Amino acid sequence: MSTELLHKAYRGDLFKEEGNDLIALLADHLTKTKEGTPSKVTRWVPPQAEYDFWKEYIKEEHSTKAFFSTLLERSIHTHHPKYIGHQIASAVPVSALATLFSAQLNNGMTVYEMGQASTAIEKNVIDMFLKTIGYMQGDGFLTSGGTLANLTAMLAARKAIADDDIWNDGHNSKLAIMVSEEAHYCVDRAARIMGLGSEGIIKIPVNEDYAIRAEVLEAYYDKALANGRQVIAIVGSAPSTSTGVYDDLQKISAFAKAKKIWFHVDGAHGGAAIFSSKYKYLLDGIDQADSVIIDGHKMMGTSSITTAVLFKNDVDSYATFEQKAQYLWDKNDDPEWYNLGKRTFECTKSMMSLRFFAIMNAYGTQFFDDNVTVLYDAGREFGTYIEEHSDFELALTPISNIVCFRYTGNLNPEAYEEVNRKIRQELLEDGEFYIVSTLLKGEFFLRTTFMNPFTNKEHMELLLKKIKEIAVKIEQITINI
């Protein structure tokens, strides 16, 4: 067996050369993209054609440098100021470097020995979150994304509140979780994974401002009880994904306390506002929550994916998974904060703490304040601008960096949906801007999320101008038919 190929794959000098090329490529891309020089945020290709492209690509020989360069051209540019779409951070370069470090070092993190520095760093990162939230006796850990983090918190809630020992005995009772109808779909998914079924996820309607209707909680709770369900938790969205609206955490907290159920805050997107001296008021009551999750890769500038799961009571952070794995750790009765695999869904996980710590080390936690504040300011500014513009209509006054609106022009309201759907598709295929869409109370809206601190008023003006042009074109085609 020849080991020639293996030697080639692990050559340090080649890594250096290709690594230098890659950093140079990404750095140039950052400089240009940030200024908005590439004319397009994305070059839209339908899925099958993109698949075919790469299928052909691998048949020919390409250098690693050429591969990355082609890859770059065919990827969406989240650092572009005209990227105003889904909620993913314009990754801070130092965080991306930390990710590269983690990818190459591959410390497994399950047990302390397999991630000495990164495990200790993780505890420091968690301490920073706990202190900022105001959890005096808290604890927590990092996991792979908000979806998994919400599931983890819901499992902890079940452990703490359910009368039955479901981890050991399986389901004998019917449980339920209360959540806003505007909550992220992953809460619904978590409930179903936990075996709660569709009736185990109680969707509470929202008011005109799209926040959970606190005054109906009691009635929904009583109904669940009457149907033989034990409600174990209530989830507050901070904010909900479609609208960027925060639920009233203080009211939810009072309700949860009265009913002795778990109060969880899904702060995947906007939990990071605790760092913003200007906007942390949106999270009043968060310190009363039994658990909170916050994504780094949304509002905190880290590369994907890394999410903090935080508990008000430290013991709860150990209670979710109680499996015995003697080959990994000696003592099942010792919490061993440093053996993270005892607490996370993952066994192996990446050295995700580095993504936060590299930013803290370079710029301090002030970076998180500045980032959230600038982005929320931008969302509100765009809201004001739309309000002033007679051709457009806001779905609601933006609270955060998420803004939902639609083109109305001189359209008959019956045509709003069709025209706005076409606008969104045209924008996608054109590629100069990237924005998304959503349905609110059954109505179609364009949806923007300001994720790039360098998106300014000029880009907002250009976007509305572009939409108007597209709309006029659509109207002309419709009239000509």
Q: Where do contacts with ligand PLP occur on this chain (CB under 6 A)?
A: 87, 145-147, 184, 186, 237, 241, 266, 268-269, 295, 305, 307
Compute the least distance from the CB of residue 95 to ligand PLP, in Å. 15
Distance CA 298, CA 267 (A): 10
Compute the least distance from the CB of residue 133 to ligand PLP, in Å. 17
Compute the least distance from the CB of residue 210 to ligand PLP, in Å. 13
Does residue 175 contact residue 158 with C-beta atoms inside 8 Å? Answer: yes
Cβ proximity to ligand PLP, 33 vs 240, nearer residue:
240
Bridge-based pairing state of the strands 402-407 and 443-449: antiparallel
Q: Using omega within 30 degrees of 0 as the cis cutoff, is the peptide bond preceding 470 cis? A: no
Amino acid at site 253: S
Question: What is the C-alpha end-to-end distance of the chain, expressed in Å?
Answer: 70
- Residue 453 neighbours by CB under 8 Å, 6+ apart: 90, 370, 371, 374, 375, 378
Cβ proximity to ligand PLP, 180 vs 339, nearer residue:
180
Cβ proximity to ligand PLP, 102 vs 237, nearer residue:
237
Cβ proximity to ligand PLP, 125 vs 305, nearer residue:
305
Q: What is the DSSP letter of 398?
A: -
Does residue 102 contact residue 352 with C-beta atoms inside 8 Å? Answer: yes
Compute the least distance from the CB of residue 114 to ligand PLP, in Å. 24
Strand order in the sheet with 392-394: 392-394, 402-407, 443-449, 436-440
Position closest to ligand PLP via CB:
146
Amino acid at site 230: Q
Q: Which helix (H) or strand (E) holds 124?
A: helix 116-133
Compute the least distance from the CB of residue 239 to ligand PLP, in Å. 7
Compute the least distance from the CB of residue 237 to ligand PLP, in Å. 5
Distance CA 89, CA 400 (A): 15
Distance CA 444, CA 55 (A): 36
Compute the least distance from the CB of residue 87 to ligand PLP, in Å. 6
The DSSP code sequence of 291-303 is EEEEEHHHHS-PP
Cβ proximity to ligand PLP, 246 vs 433, nearer residue:
246
Compute the least distance from the CB of residue 266 to ligand PLP, in Å. 5
Compute the least distance from the CB of residue 35 to ligand PLP, in Å. 28
Q: Beta strands of 85-242 (E only): which ranges?
A: 139-143, 174-180, 201-204, 229-237
Cβ proximity to ligand PLP, 69 vs 144, nearer residue:
144
The DSSP code sequence of 56-87 is HHTTS---HHHHHHHHHHTS--TTSTTB-SSS
